[in-house]
Chains A and B, each alone.
Chain A
Amino acid sequence: GAGVSQSPSNKVTEKGKDVELRCDPISGHTALYWYRQSLGQGLEFLIYFQGNSAPDKSGLPSDRFSAERTGGSVSTLTIQRTQQEDSAVYLCASNLGLAGSDTQYFGPGTRLTVL
């Protein structure tokens, strides 16, 4: 079956521009996560959606970052007024959102480069 997909795979933007990154989770997965991975760094948690509950935004680094999930499926991560330190790979993951099924299924990521 189809896995988690993300688009675009690569994005180059100029400092100060806004960008939108998209994630299509596995069908039926109610939980969706966004992470950021900078060169040589681990995965940094950004935000977590579970069904219709309010998202856990505790990992968002600044108010320039926001995310939404429409219809409990597709999610968009938006970065406003991008800065060079935003350059990283942004990974999306999903899972069934059930207790005991915490394995996360990751997409291939979007590599963001801010010039």
Chain B
Amino acid sequence: SQKIEQNSEALNIQEGKTATLTCNYTNYSPAYLQWYRQDPGRGPVFLLLIRENEKEKRKERLKVTFDTTLKQSLFHITASQPADSATYLCALRLGFQKLVFGTGTRLLVSP
């Protein structure tokens, strides 16, 4: 069956460090993968999209990698700040205009 896995345990890191979140998938061949941020009581907000022919994508302090052989994406936040504390969701394209989401990983950045 198709599955998207994100670490269900919260990731606790210290301010200034690099946070790395993992998204693994099985039985998909997605054309691209997206990362979203979700704060408590709010809907997800789009952060980055990476296509299958791209190895890496950057946006300010964010970096995403996409390894279609390993079926894995890594999401990095460099120089993390307490304001980065949130849940981060990965999503794969499933058919035209449809996304399937992982369960998300909660990131806690301590001052």
Contact = CB atoms under 8 A, between A and B. Distances in A.
Interface string A27-47: 000010001000011110100
B100 interface: yes
B97 A48 contact: yes
A84 interface: no
Interface centre among B4, B98, B100 (most CB of A within 10 A): B98
Interface stretch (B12-20, B41-49, B66-74): B41-49
Contacts of A106: 43-45
B91 to A, nearest CB: 8
A50 interface: yes
Interface residues of A, number: 24
Given A40-B103, A42-B102, A103-B49, A108 B97 contact: no
B49 A91 contact: no
A41 B103 contact: yes
Nearest to A97: B97
B97 A31 contact: yes
Given A42-B89, A43-B89, A93 B43 contact: yes
A42 B101 contact: yes
Nearest to A91: B43
Interface string B48-84: 0100000000000000000000000000000000000
A43 B101 contact: yes
B39 to A, nearest CB: 10
Contacts of A4: 43
**What are the 3 A-B residue pairs with the smallest beta carbon separation, nearest first?**
A106-B43, A42-B103, A43-B101
14 contacts: A4-B43, A31-B97, A40-B8, A41-B103, A42-B4, A42-B89, A42-B104, A48-B97, A48-B98, A91-B43, A91-B44, A93-B43, A102-B99, A105-B46
Interface of A: 4, 31, 35, 40-43, 45, 48, 50, 56, 91, 93, 95, 97, 99, 102-109
